[in-house]
A and B are shown apart, each in its own frame.
Chain A
Amino acid sequence: MTLSILHRITGVALALGTLLVVFWIVAVAAGPAAYDAASALLGSWLGRLLLFGWTFSLFYHLANGIRHLAWDVGWGYELGAARASGYLAVTAAVVLTLLSWAAGYGLLGG
């Protein structure tokens, strides 16, 4: 129930987040100066906060989306299985988000 509405909320967040994606790719097309400006904006604390929310939304929507696709073919409908896969989706989203950011900061620092 909670996870289901979270799927919608993260979906809407990702739809809004496509604006960031368009902004970034158009900046690359516009050339080095525009790209540096865009990078500075995305690298600011507000940019990082938005990107962090975007990363979690992406991984949660992805993990829970796979859960939905499994249901569509008739797998995992039993109450116990549905509950277990729900925990798995949330755990996967948190772990993948932290892993991505750890890797990103590792690259910046190293």
Chain B
Amino acid sequence: MSQRSPLGRARGLGSAKDGTAHWWAQRLTALALVPLTLWVVTSLVSLIGADYGAVAGWIASPVTAVLMILLLAMTFHHAQLGAQVVIEDYVHNEALKIAGIIAVKFLALVLGLASIFAVLMIALGV
């Protein structure tokens, strides 16, 4: 029986049986982001020069709010998955690598939640 911890097993050599999960999540979020990105860019361009009421009103409408929350969740999930791969490829100091990955994941969570909370505040009028 192995004395290695689950973390040691996952981080060391050998399978932790979730080797494709990261790859798959990156593709799923990418696929979702294709229409969401096209939607938000065309919407934002059409809002250039609009006043505060028009912008807030647009975000507050139910369809926009839901799509916006989806977009933000997908974006931050996709971003931290991608940043993790970049860190893994270029940072060779083990401690720095782990610290960097943790920092990126925590930051993505904080920024994602803050922006989604902002959308909810606008949509609910608080």
Contact = CB atoms under 8 A, between A and B. Distances in A.
Contacts of A104: 45, 48
A66 B79 contact: no
B27 interface: yes
Contacts of B37: 58, 62
B34 A62 contact: yes
Given A104-B48, A108-B48, A22 B34 contact: no
Contact of A15 (B31, B34, B79): B79
Interface size classification for chain B: 20 to 34
B contact face: mostly helix, strand, loop, or mixed: helix
Interface in B73-123: 75-76, 79, 82-83, 86, 111, 114-115, 117-119, 121-122
Interface string A22-59: 10011011001001100000000000000000010010
Given A28-B122, A62-B37, A22 B111 contact: yes
A108 B49 contact: yes
Contacts, number: 79
Contacts of B76: 18
B30 interface: yes
B46 interface: yes
B81 to A, nearest CB: 10
23 contacts: A8-B86, A11-B82, A11-B83, A14-B79, A15-B79, A18-B75, A18-B76, A22-B111, A25-B72, A25-B115, A25-B118, A25-B119, A26-B118, A28-B118, A28-B122, A29-B122, A32-B52, A35-B55, A55-B41, A62-B37, A62-B38, A65-B30, A107-B45
Given A14-B79, A15-B83, A108-B49, 16 more contacts: A11-B82, A12-B83, A15-B79, A15-B82, A19-B111, A21-B72, A26-B114, A26-B115, A28-B118, A29-B121, A58-B37, A62-B34, A65-B33, A69-B27, A107-B45, A108-B48
Interface of B: 27, 30-31, 33-34, 37-38, 41, 45-46, 48-49, 52, 55-56, 59, 68, 72, 75-76, 79, 82-83, 86, 111, 114-115, 117-119, 121-122
